[in-house]
């Protein structure tokens, strides 16, 4: 009876020590970075580093909390970008938690792939993408639009997004706005600011920003046939 217990005790002790180290580092970072929330702090085995997430961005900390590093951590053995792998995992988690009622969704007759697209009403390539929305739908691609006014909160592009999201027929308003029609300004209780902040959390820096269900990001416009090929290939690999 003692042998199995003796085998388990070192593992339990290691877990306790690891948790204590993380808690100690959290306290240190709270003093160094007051008001900043460190998410998902965890030790990276054998490296002496701790991985933390701040506003969706992955950073690495020394055990004493005196140093922080930002960049790509790559496994030389497998040539795997561990940082991007972690980003994709975080994005996937955020995307799964989104409420579709606040999105503007263009539905195909039969859905093969679902994409979440952060869009700006006025950006040239967002308009190019939307001009081909029927082609995406014919290929079974479901587009879930979220607002990302590039000018930021309170800008003209923000007001344009609010007008579209406040229209009784959001799909029609989106299409007309993307064609360059000037819509009558509207205001209401709307999700534009929240969606903009979600985009920032996901690392959006330009539009259109296309997210696959896996959490992978395709930055910029991708033609319908090419996009379908990418999605099919990604699905085959999963």
Residue 92 lies in a domain: no
Which residues are CB-neighbours of 51 under 8 A, at least 6 positions away? Answer: 40, 41, 42, 43, 44, 58, 59, 60, 61, 86
In the residue annotation, 166 being an active-site residue is answered as: no
Q: Which of 87, 91, 122, 123 is catalytic?
A: 123
- Are 167 and 71 part of one and the same domain? no
- Are 216 and 146 part of one and the same domain? yes
CATH number at residue 66: 3.10.450
- Are 64 and 127 part of one and the same domain? no
- Are 63 and 117 part of one and the same domain? no
- How many domains does the chain fold into? 2
- Are 76 and 136 part of one and the same domain? no
Of 203, 177, 188, 191, which is closest to residue 53 (Cα–Cα)? 203
Q: What confidence tens digit (pLDDT) does each residue in 165-181 have?
A: 999 999 999 999 999 99
In the residue annotation, 64 being an active-site residue is answered as: no
Q: Give the domain extent around 227.
A: 101-237
DSSP states of 11-65: HHHHHHHHHHHHHHHHHHHHHHSTTPPPEEEEEETTTTEEEEEETTEEEEEETTS
d(CA 165, CA 150): 16
- Are 71 and 118 part of one and the same domain? no
Spell out the per-residue pLDDT of the chain, length 238, in tens: 334 433 433 333 333 346 788 888 888 888 888 878 887 788 887 778 888 888 778 889 888 888 888 889 898 889 989 888 888 999 999 999 999 999 999 999 999 999 999 999 999 999 999 999 999 999 999 999 999 999 999 999 999 999 999 999 999 999 999 999 999 999 999 999 999 999 999 989 899 999 999 999 999 999 999 999 999 998 766 5
- Phi, psi of 236, rounded to the nearest 5 degrees: -65, -30
Residue that terminates a domain, selected from 85, 114, 137: 85
- Are 52 and 143 part of one and the same domain? no
Does the pTM of the predicted model rise above 0.85? no
Q: Which of 144, 150, 160, 167 is catalytic?
A: 150
Q: Which of 91, 126, 127, 167 is catalytic?
A: 126
- Phi, psi of 79, rounded to the nearest 5 degrees: 60, 30
């Amino acid at each position: 009876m003692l042998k199995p217990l003796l085998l388990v005790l070192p593992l339990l002790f290691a877990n306790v020590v690891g948790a204590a180290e993380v808690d100690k580092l959290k306290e240190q970072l709270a003093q160094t970075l007051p008001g900043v929330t460190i998410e998902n702090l965890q030790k990276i085995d054998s490296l002496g580093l701790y991985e933390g997430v701040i506003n969706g961005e992955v950073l690495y900390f020394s055990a004493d909390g005196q140093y922080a590093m930002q960049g790509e951590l790559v496994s030389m053995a497998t040539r795997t970008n561990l940082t991007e792998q972690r980003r994709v995992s975080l994005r996937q988690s955020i995307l799964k938690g989104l409420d579709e009622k606040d999105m503007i969704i263009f539905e195909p007759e039969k859905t093969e792939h679902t994409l979440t697209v952060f869009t700006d009403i006025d950006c040239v390539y967002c308009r190019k993408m939307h001009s081909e929305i029927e082609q995406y739908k014919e290929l079974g691609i479901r587009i879930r639009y979220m607002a990302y006014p590039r000018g930021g909160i309170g800008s003209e592009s923000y007001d344009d997004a609010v007008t579209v999201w406040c229209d009784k027929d959001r799909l029609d308003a989106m299409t007309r706005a993307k064609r360059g029609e000037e819509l009558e300004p509207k205001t209401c209780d709307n999700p534009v600011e929240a969606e903009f902040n979600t985009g920032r959390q996901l690392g959006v820096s330009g539009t259109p920003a296309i997210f696959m269900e896996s959490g992978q990001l395709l930055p910029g416009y991708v033609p319908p046939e090419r996009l379908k090929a990418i999605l099919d290939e990604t699905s085959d690999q999963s």
